[in-house]
A and B are shown apart, each in its own frame.
Chain A
Amino acid sequence: DAKTTQPPSMDCAEGRAANLPCNHSTISGNEYVYWYRQIHSQGPQYIIHGLKNNETNEMASLIITEDRKSSTLILPHATLRDTAVYYCIVRPYSSNTGKLIFGQGTTLQVKP
C-alpha cells in the first residue's frame, strides 16, 4: 500500500476553513484516498474518500490533484468539535483487501 505524509499538527480559527494536506506520491491506479478522524478517546470516524475526482459530502470536501500525488481535506467552517487527529490513508478499493494502514496523522487544533 502507498505511504502517506501529513504535517504532524495544524491550527485553525473557529469558523474558518481548515485545509489539511496529504502527500501520496507513490499511489497506484487502483488505490483510493480515504480520510478518517479520531476525536480524543473515541474510535476513528470515516469522513470521505475519492479516486481522482473531487468529492464533497456533509462533513467535508476532498480535493485530489490531477496527478493524484497529493490531496487536501477541507472542513469549510471549522468548529471546536472538529479538533481531532486526521488520518489520510490510501488503499485499494477492493473488498478482498479491506484493511486500513494508519500513519501518524495530523492533529488539528481549532481555536476560538
Chain B
Amino acid sequence: SAVISQKPSRDICQRGTSLTIQCQVDSQVTMMFWYRQQPGQSLTLIATANQGSEATYESGFVIDKFPISRPNLTFSTLTVSNMSPEDSSIYLCSALEPHQETQYFGPGTRLLVL
C-alpha cells in the first residue's frame, strides 16, 4: 500500500493568514484527494487534486479559499487561505493507487486558528 506523509503535522495560526499543507506519496498514484475533519465530526471531501489541471471542488468549497496544486503524480498541496477560527480542523490527504481501487490516507494536519 502507498505510504502518505503530510507536512506540517500540526500548526497554530493567526486569523487572516494562510497555511500550505504538503502531501507526499511514496509511489505514483492516479488520484489524490483532500478532506477536512472538523472537531468531533466525520470526514468531508474538499476536492480531488488533478495532476496537470485545476482541482475539482465539492459543493461548499471554492478555489479561492482552498487552492490546490498537484504538479506530479506523487505530490500535492492544499492552502487554507485567509483563515478564521472556523477553519480549525484536521486536514487529510488521500491517494488512490493505479489498479488497486483502495484509497489510503495520510496522518493528517491538525490546524488551530486563533
Contact surface of A with B, Cβ cutoff 8 Å:
41-46, 49, 85, 87, 93-95, 98-105
Contacts and interface: CB of A to CB of B under 8 A. Distances in A.
Given A42-B107, A93-B101, A98-B31, 12 more contacts: A41-B108, A42-B108, A43-B107, A43-B108, A44-B92, A45-B105, A87-B42, A95-B30, A95-B31, A98-B101, A102-B44, A103-B42
Given A95-B96, A98-B31, A44 B101 contact: no
Contacts of A49: 102
Interface of B: 1, 4, 30-31, 33, 35, 42-45, 48, 92, 94, 96, 98-99, 101-108
Classify the interface of chain B: helix, strand, loop or mixed: strand
Classify the interface of chain A: helix, strand, loop or mixed: loop
Closest 10 CB pairs of A and B: A43-B105, A98-B96, A102-B43, A98-B31, A102-B42, A44-B105, A43-B107, A43-B108, A104-B42, A43-B106
A99 B98 CA distance: 14
A99 B103 CA distance: 8
A43 B2 CA distance: 13
A37 B101 CA distance: 17
Nearest to B42: A102
B30 A46 contact: no
Given A42-B108, A43-B106, A43-B107, A101 B45 contact: yes
Nearest to A44: B105
Nearest to A32: B101
Contacts of A103: 42
A69 B32 CA distance: 29
A103 B104 CA distance: 17
A42 B101 CA distance: 21
Contacts of B104: 46
Given A87-B42, A102-B44, A105-B42, A46 B1 contact: yes
